[in-house]
Chain A
C-alpha cells in the first residue's frame, strides 16, 4: 500500500489525453508516405512505453489516461485507483505482477471498451462524417481530476497534462477550450502538447503559451518515444535546468465569426464580444442593433400615436 508522498519536487501527476479519433487515424493511414510516418498501433506502442517510463521514474508518480474520441471521452486508466482498494482486499503480489494487470494491459483493455462504445454511438445515429475530436471534454475531465488530487491531504504531486493531438481544431469548441486553458492557468497546471498529425493546432499552441507548457510537433514521428523521453518525461522542477523546445511563434489573431478566416483588425460587438471582419448594422450573434433601445421605443411610440390619431379622427 503506498503511503502519502513525502514532500519532493519530482513527484508528478501526469494526465495523458490521447486522441483516438478514428477518422483522423484512418485518414492518416491512407495518406501515409511510407516509413517516415506511424500508424495507430506503432503510436500506441511508443506511448505505452512512455507511460511505463513515467511510472518507473519515481515510485510515487501518478498517471491517468483519458481517451478523446469523436463522439465521447472517457478515462482509460488511473494509477490511483489500483492502489487504493476500497473494499479492503489487497491483491496478492503474484497477481499484481501478472501480465494482465500491468498498466499497459489495463490501458489497452480500456481502449478496446472505449472504441466499442464509440462504434455503438455511431450505429445509433447516422454517421455524419465527424472529423473533430472532443478536446474540450477531455481537458475538462482532466482538470476535474487534478482538482480531486489537489483536494487530498498535502503534500500533493505536481500535476501536468500531456495531450497527443492529431485531429484538426474544431472552431465550435473554441470557448470551451479557452475556459479550460484559463482554469489550468489558475491552477498552475502546464498543458504540454505533442502533435502527431500533419498540421499545427492553434488551440494547443495558445494553451502551451498561456499555461507555460511545451508544444512540440516531432519532425520524425517514427522516433516518437525518443522525443517523449527527452522532452516530456521530466518533472516540472527539473524542467528549469533543461534546454527544451522553445515556442517558435504563437498566433493570437482571432477568426471572424462570419467567415472563420483569421483577421488582423475586426469589429467587436460591445454586448456579446463576437468578432466580425466587416461593419454590420446588427450583430448576428446577439441580435443587437446600433439603434439604441430608447430610440426604438420612441419610434414605436410615435407610430402608435399616429395610428391612434387617425383612428380617433375617423370615428
Chain B
C-alpha cells in the first residue's frame, strides 16, 4: 500500500505536524530544513525558532526530482550545525524515500565527520531499509526506523519530538546569559527591530538595549541577547522532573488494614474496579503518594499533564 496522494504530500504533512509539535515541546530550540534534489542538497530555511516561517516555506516548495545524496545532505547540515554553541545538542533527522545514495565522494567519511562533531543523525525511511542509513544511525547514536503506512510514518516522525536523554560525557554545561523582556502596554507606538516597521501596541522590550521585538523566543536584533519568557523555560522542566511510572494494583491484593481500596480514581472521580464489583479495568497506584488512578488518567498524566494530582495535593511536612 503506497502513500496517497503522493509520498511527498504525505511527508510534507508529517513534517508540518512535526514542526508544530517540536516547537511546542522545545520552545528554545532552533530548526532548519534542507532538501535534496537532483543529487544536490540546498537550504530551504535557516536555523530559526519560528514555526510559521518554516511551514510557509515548506508549503511553497513541494517538488521532487532526481537522485538523493546523503553525503551532500550531511555536509550541508554540518556546515550549519558547526555554528551551534557547544552546550547545544546537534541533531539531523533525515526523511529518506530513495533506495540508494548517489554521492560525489566517500559517504563513509561524512559519517565519520558527523560522529566526530557529535551530531546525532536519525533516519525515518519511507521506502525500505538501506544499509548506509542503518550504518549512519548506528555510528552516530541515532534511531533508524522504516514506515509501513501513513499512520506509522507520522508516529515515527513524531517520536523524534521529545529531546533524547543527554549523555553526561557529551554535555558541556555553561551558564548562558538570557534576557526576560516585559510585554509592552497596549497603545505604545515603536519601531520594531525585526521588521523595521512601525508597530502599535504589544511587543517586547529587550532589557539590555531597549529595542522592540515582536515575538519570543528570539535573539535581539540589535545586541544579540537571547530573549525568552519564563513559560518557555517552564515548558521544558517536565523533562527534568518526570512523573514516576504508576504500578498496577492486583484487585485481590489484601491491604494490611491501614486503608481500604478507594472506590474512585483520585484524579477524575470515576469508579475504579474492585474485587467483586461490575466495573472492569485496571487500577494503578502512584509509588510516591499511594493514590489510586484509572488507566485513562494514567495515560493523560504521563503524556500531557506531567503532574501527579496525588503528589501535588499532598503537602510534605516540613522537617
* In the complex, B297 has a CB within 8 A of chain A: yes
Could you tell me if A137 and B231 are in contact, using CB atoms closer than 8 angstroms?
no
Instruction: Fill in one digit per residue for B174-187: 1 if any A CB lies within 8 Å of its CB, else 0.
Output: 11111111110110
- Residue B109 CB within 8 A of the other chain: no
Chain B binding site: helix, strand, loop or mixed by DSSP?
Answer: loop
Q: What are 22 inter-chain pairs, A to B, with CB distance below 8 A? A: A74-B313, A81-B269, A128-B318, A130-B315, A134-B312, A134-B314, A137-B313, A147-B297, A178-B235, A206-B230, A252-B180, A264-B181, A264-B207, A267-B175, A267-B176, A268-B177, A268-B178, A269-B176, A270-B172, A270-B173, A271-B171, A275-B233
CA distance A246 to B202 in the complex (A): 13
A8 interface residue (CB < 8 Å to B): no
**A binding-site residues for B, Cβ under 8 Å:** 70-75, 78, 81, 86, 121, 125-126, 128, 130, 134, 136-138, 140-141, 143-145, 147-148, 151, 173-176, 178-183, 186-187, 206, 210, 246, 249-254, 263-273, 275-276, 279-280, 283, 286, 288-290, 292-294
Candidate in A86, A125, A148 with the most chain B CB atoms within 10 angstroms: A148
**Cβ distance B277 to chain A, nearest Cβ, rounded Å:** 10
State the Cβ distance, B20 to closest chain A Cβ, in Å.
11
Closest A residue to B271 by beta carbon equals A86
A73 and B313 form a contact (CB under 8 A): yes
Q: A174-B234, A266-B178 are in contact. Are A249 and B304 (CB under 8 A)?
A: no
For the complex, is B305 an interface residue (Cβ under 8 Å from A)? yes
Contact residues of B with A, CB < 8 Å?
Answer: 87-88, 166, 168-169, 171-183, 185-186, 207-208, 225, 228-231, 233-238, 240-241, 265-271, 296-297, 300-301, 304-309, 312-315, 317-318
CB of B269 within 8 A of CB of A176, answer no
Task: Decide: A249 and B183 in contact? CB cutoff 8 A.
Answer: yes
Using A250-B183, A271-B173, A272-B240 as known contacts, say yes or no to A148 and B313 having CB atoms under 8 A apart.
no
User: 8 closest A-B pairs (Cβ-Cβ)?
Assistant: A137-B313, A144-B267, A270-B87, A288-B173, A148-B268, A178-B234, A264-B207, A137-B312
| A residues less than 8 Å from B186 (CB atoms) | 246
Q: CA separation between A98 and B88, bound complex, in Å?
A: 65
Closest Cβ–Cβ distance, residue B113 to chain A (whole Å)? 19
With both chains docked as a complex, state the minimum distance between the C-beta of A204 and any C-beta of chain B, in angstroms.
Answer: 13
- Give min CB distance, B15 to chain A, whole Å: 21
Q: Tell me whether B180 and A254 are in contact (CB under 8 A).
A: yes
Task: Return B228 CB to nearest CB of chain A, in Å.
Answer: 8
Given A72-B315, A176-B307, A253-B182, answer yes or no on A265-B169 (Cβ-Cβ < 8 Å): no
Chain B: minimal CB distance from A179 (Å): 5
**Beta-carbon contact of A283 and B182 below 8 Å:** no
What secondary structure prevails in chain A residues at the interface with B?
mixed
Partner of A270, one of B169, B174, B237, B238: B174
Complex CA gap A311/B161 in Å reads 53
User: How near does chain B come to A258, taking the closest CB pair, in angstroms?
Assistant: 12
Contact at A252–B317, with CB atoms within 8 Å? no
A134 to B309, CA, bound (A): 10
Cβ B180 vs Cβ A265 within 8 A: yes
Given contacts A71-B315, A263-B180, A268-B178, contact A144 B173 (CB under 8 A): no
Contact between chains at B173 and A289 (CB < 8 Å)? yes
CA distance A157 to B186 in the complex (A): 34
Given the contacts A147-B296, A148-B296, A283-B173, A293 and B180 also touching, CB distance less than 8 Å: no
Determine the residue in chain A with the shortest Cβ distance to B172: A292
Q: Select one of A75, A78, A180, A290 contacting B174, CB under 8 A.
A: A290
List 13 additional contacts besides A179-B234, A252-B181; criterion CB under 8 Å: A136-B312, A147-B268, A148-B296, A175-B234, A176-B307, A178-B235, A182-B235, A183-B305, A252-B229, A265-B208, A267-B176, A267-B178, A268-B228
